[in-house]
Chains A and B, each alone.
Chain A
């Protein structure tokens, strides 16, 4: 089993799918000659050539729309948006075109494409480059939303996303691109819509996704030293949401903390809390708490930035609260 960086796992998934299917191509800013802004597509131009590894002008709405059209015509585009902040420029095409074409044409056309890029804060990128935006894409029927930062999951889920007939929003992590993890040498696919229990436990469930899973695992280590057994559920897919996994967790631990990077208002954490308490109210021994970004735009200075983002300390404190310690 190989130890791969997140970026290498993503690249391997794209390379394998492009070798497998001529219709798959990669398009975006700096994906070809620059080797990708975060080197995810490094070397792919040399293997696949300019026809299939396509540098675009800085025109996100336009090239996303072109990729949607290409998908409707039977191709399978992968669009790299560099970071999801820039995809806000393409929000119209993603929401008003990609998410709605199957419905508006009553199934006559479909949009098999993946839009992928880095999501969430890195370090010191300030207000416009630090956003975690799962909730504003997961809001819309017609889109599938994956958000993951572990190499093994990223590989298996990106391959599934490329083969999926629906438009898939695929959110990665700038800070985790260099993070290594074990990825099996043989090909495998992870089904979209399945959460993964990253650590088993009995007292409290920490629910998260993307790079906050790493913080939850660290928090669980710390809690274990205090005698609190925390399990960590990695949603991996935001839409469709794996409700059953959430229900199984609350029925087992009766206490839950949802850790979400990004703004709290109408966030994914709110959706998780709402669904769990609606379906499993009798299983709850404490209110479900959310740990999210503070309700603030991201500041630059490191000491301020840390105050805004979820942290291991805040997760541990929330676990204490729900466990009555």
Chain B
């Protein structure tokens, strides 16, 4: 596949992957200290997917995510201080402490959230694509979902209508090999999840999701397909999560050595290899970026922690829309 990522872009992708990982590591620690409660699903190991995806989309495109969305909303450009703010239940959070880990959204970034019913968010993206087509603009929609969500009926329904109506929607399956604790081959007869598109005649393919450049190129191709009026695509990024399903899951169901084997294709390491071998970037430069990210993440963490708690006076403000947007 033709190279489409410049050195500057790849440096930014590397920086964002480091930021996501550092934010998630800090979140994990904060969770053990009860600074974060509820469910908390970490994105560590999957950073290349969100980073390569976001870099291939336009700001006006709509992105819909499930509940493992910290990394996805960061990759979309949302300030980590807002992400930490939400995790800490602060009024400065992405959704003012109302949403929590699973419900982060940013209208400014066309990031629709943040949904906790497996697969339930998928038709919303088809709806965004429906609206784009109805209005005649050339934006598209992209929805992230996992290999577990690819078993839900509403997923197939969304695929069918998106294809029938030629909606500009990218269905991006992040196959991380586990639907909660149930491994792919134990929960799915077909393990190439992109083949879900075959039943509705949708263009589909599978690609490796560890290399952010490969992800970028594949999503750029998918976006071009959608934007040119050819209808939706379903693509599958084969990836892996390093942590358990959520913070309460020690992931004892993995095979011995599986995690170590997967880490050989770590997204951050692959970006480092590319930056050094293809763009002549030095170790010192890479380390400086990493150090800078660590400082940024810690500053965001500290600022979010110091921010005022969620605002009780707004408790009743968000049940109904008061004025039309």
Contacts and interface: CB of A to CB of B under 8 A. Distances in A.
Interface of A: 25, 51, 56-57, 59, 61-75, 92-93, 96-97, 101-112, 141-142, 144, 163, 165-166
A111 B123 CA distance: 14
Interface stretch (B42-50, B155-163, B188-196, B301-309): B155-163
Interface string B193-205: 0000000000000
B322 interface: yes
Interface stretch (B31-39, B130-138, B219-227): B130-138
Given A65-B120, A70-B127, A105 B114 contact: yes
A313 to B, nearest CB: 40
Nearest to B121: A97
A32 to B, nearest CB: 13
B90 to A, nearest CB: 12
Given A66-B127, A165-B320, 6 more contacts: A62-B160, A66-B126, A74-B131, A75-B131, A96-B117, A97-B120
B320 A65 contact: no
Most buried by B among A71, A108, A166: A108
Contact of A72 (B95, B98, B112, B319): B112
Nearest to A75: B131
B288 interface: no
Interface of B: 62, 64, 95-96, 98-99, 103, 105-107, 112-117, 120-132, 134-135, 141, 153-154, 156-158, 160-161, 164, 317-325
9 contacts: A57-B164, A62-B161, A66-B130, A69-B128, A96-B116, A96-B120, A101-B113, A103-B318, A110-B325
B157 A61 contact: yes
Contact of A67 (B105, B107, B127, B319): B127
A165 B318 contact: no
Given A57-B157, A97-B115, A105-B99, A73 B321 contact: no
B319 A141 contact: yes
Contacts of A57: 157, 160-161, 164
A65 B319 contact: no
Contacts of A144: 320
Contacts of B126: 62, 65-66, 69
A56 B131 contact: no
Contacts of A59: 157, 160-161
Most buried by B among A25, A66, A72, A105: A66
A56 B161 contact: yes
A104 B319 contact: no
The 8 closest A-B CB pairs, nearest first, are A69-B127, A62-B157, A65-B123, A73-B131, A165-B321, A110-B321, A69-B124, A59-B157
Contacts of B322: 165
Contacts of A107: 317-318, 321
Contact of A112 (B134, B164, B324): B324
Given A109-B105, A165-B321, A66 B112 contact: no
Contact of B130 (A70, A103, A109, A141): A70
B124 A68 contact: yes
A66 B125 CA distance: 7
Contacts of B317: 107
Contacts of B134: 25, 51, 70, 75
Nearest to B143: A69
A73 B123 contact: no
A145 B324 CA distance: 18
Contacts of A68: 123-124, 127
A293 B230 CA distance: 52
Contacts of A141: 319
A142 B123 CA distance: 20
Nearest to B124: A69
B324 A165 contact: yes
Contacts of B157: 57, 59, 61-63, 65
Given A57-B161, A65-B120, A97-B115, A103 B131 contact: no
Contact of A61 (B112, B123, B320, B324): B123
B117 A92 contact: yes
A73 B121 CA distance: 14
Contact of B323 (A56, A69, A93, A165): A165
B124 A65 contact: yes
Contacts of B117: 92, 96-97
Contacts of B99: 104-106
A99 B134 CA distance: 24
Most buried by B among A101, A112, A144, A165: A101
Most buried by A among B98, B127, B153, B320: B127
Given A74-B325, A75-B134, A165-B325, A65 B98 contact: no
Given A56-B161, A97-B124, A62 B154 contact: yes
B112 A102 contact: no
A18 B134 CA distance: 14
B319 A103 contact: yes
A102 B141 CA distance: 20
A127 B105 CA distance: 42
Contact of B320 (A93, A102, A108): A102
